[in-house]
């Protein structure tokens, strides 16, 4: 009989690196090649996305003579105040009208689109009825259709009911959001327990009251996301107003600045007004994102703590 001796564990081949501390007793951060490379890539991506906004800010402070004859990313003959005053006073202050029109189109359209998508998504998620999946996939297929392909059929429809060249011709198509319906259904399926709906029914609440007082509050992070997506899409919409509208007083900002850009040969100062107007038109989008981001944070942490 042969005896086997137990194997002794081998000592570690390399000792762990000692932890270093600074003079205040704080642990020093150790940088390796991977973290440095990741930071460098993120820095390049950040510069790439910030560069257009920085150029827009710099260019809005230049006049027509210095816009093309100076460094693109540095100030030259600062006249931002003059551009702002000229922007809001040119052609009887039509830019202010365009800005209000855009707020109307984007604000009202996004709110109605969010409510409609929430109701449709909630119904498709929590109610059993025949043809539910067929309806859902039909709505979802609308995401694959580009908006430019629908502009001409929408114009023909609006012309039949005599709504072209009116606010309704831009507002009515804006309240439909197939992606919003998809997102609302996915979120309602995963976040709204069926037991809560059943408890509301037992207490005598109507279906609309359950949806209004319970479901909408639970779905608030998804609703904010739908609202922002639709708000940005309507705010930046160009082709639909171009097809529908001929009255300059009904133009949104995008179409109005485009019309000014085409008149650059007749009035050279318009090129500065177009750049400054583009900067001003971005500010409401930034305000909307900053004011609504707290709903995203609350939605991300919802359900993470169990009682």
Q: What is the pLDDT of residues 235-270, one digit of tens each?
A: 999 999 999 999 999 999 999 999 988 887 777 788
Altogether, the residues listed in the chain come to a count of 307
What is the pLDDT at residue 160? 92
- Evaluate whether 178 touches 139 at the Cβ level (below 8 Å): yes
How far apart are the C-alpha atoms of 103 and 283, rounded to whole Å? Answer: 12
Per-residue pLDDT band at 230 (split at 50, 70, 90): very high
- Evaluate whether 188 touches 122 at the Cβ level (below 8 Å): yes
Q: Which of 274, 235, 275 is nearest to 256 (CA)?
A: 274
Q: What is the pLDDT of residues 45-78, one digit of tens each?
A: 999 988 888 888 888 888 777 777 777 677 777 8
What does the pLDDT average to over 33-55? 87
What does the pLDDT average to over 15-39? 64
Q: In the predicted model, is pLDDT for residue 165 greater than 70?
A: yes
**Higher pLDDT among residues 218 and 293, named by residue:** 218
Q: In the predicted model, is pLDDT for residue 119 greater than 90?
A: yes
Q: What is the pLDDT of residues 184-200, one digit of tens each?
A: 999 999 888 889 899 98
3-state secondary structure of 33: helix
What is the pLDDT at residue 307? 34
Per-residue pLDDT band at 143 (split at 50, 70, 90): confident
Q: In the predicted model, is pLDDT for residue 117 greater than 90?
A: yes
How far apart are the C-alpha atoms of 114 and 107, rounded to whole Å? Answer: 11
What is the pLDDT at residue 6? 54
**Higher pLDDT among residues 147 and 152, named by residue:** 152
Domains of the chain: 85-301 (1.10.3720.10)
Q: In the predicted model, is pLDDT for residue 102 greater than 90?
A: yes
Kindly state the percentage of the chain with pLDDT values over 70. Answer: 85
How far apart are the C-alpha atoms of 176 and 181, rounded to whole Å? Answer: 9
Q: Residues 21, 22, 24, 29: is their CA dihedral positive or negative?
A: negative
Please give the model's pTM, rounded to 2 decimal places: 0.80
């Amino acid at each position: 009989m042969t005896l086997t001796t137990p194997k002794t564990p081998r000592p570690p081949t390399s000792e762990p690196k000692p932890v270093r501390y600074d003079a205040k007793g704080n642990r020093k951060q150790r940088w390796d090649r991977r973290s440095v490379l990741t930071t460098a890539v993120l820095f390049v991506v950040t510069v790439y996305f910030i560069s257009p906004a920085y150029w827009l800010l710099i260019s809005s402070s230049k006049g027509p003579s210095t816009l093309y004859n100076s460094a693109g990313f540095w100030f030259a003959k600062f006249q931002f105040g003059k551009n702002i005053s000229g922007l809001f006073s040119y052609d009887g202050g039509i830019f202010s009208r365009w800005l209000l029109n855009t707020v109307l189109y984007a604000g009202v359209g996004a709110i109605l689109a969010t409510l409609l998508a929430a109701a449709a998504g909630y119904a498709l998620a929590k109610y059993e009825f025949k043809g539910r999946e067929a309806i859902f996939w039909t709505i979802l297929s609308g995401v694959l259709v580009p908006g430019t392909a629908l502009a001409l059929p929408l114009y023909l429809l609006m012309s039949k009911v005599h709504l072209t060249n009116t606010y309704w011709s831009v507002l009515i198509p804006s309240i439909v959001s197939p992606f919003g319906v998809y997102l609302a259904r996915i979120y309602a399926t995963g976040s709204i327990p069926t037991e809560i709906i059943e408890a509301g029914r037992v207490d005598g609440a109507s279906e609309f009251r359950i949806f209004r007082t319970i479901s909408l509050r639970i779905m608030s992070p998804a609703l904010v996301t739908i609202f922002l997506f639709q708000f940005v899409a309507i705010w930046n919409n160009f082709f639909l107003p171009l097809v529908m509208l001929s009255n300059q007083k009904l133009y949104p900002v995008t179409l109005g600045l485009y019309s000014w850009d085409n008149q650059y040969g007749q009035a050279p100062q318009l090129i500065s007004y177009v750049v400054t107007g583009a900067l001003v038109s971005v500010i409401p989008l930034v305000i909307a994102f900053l004011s609504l981001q707290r709903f995203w944070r609350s939605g991300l942490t919802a359900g993470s703590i169990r009682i």
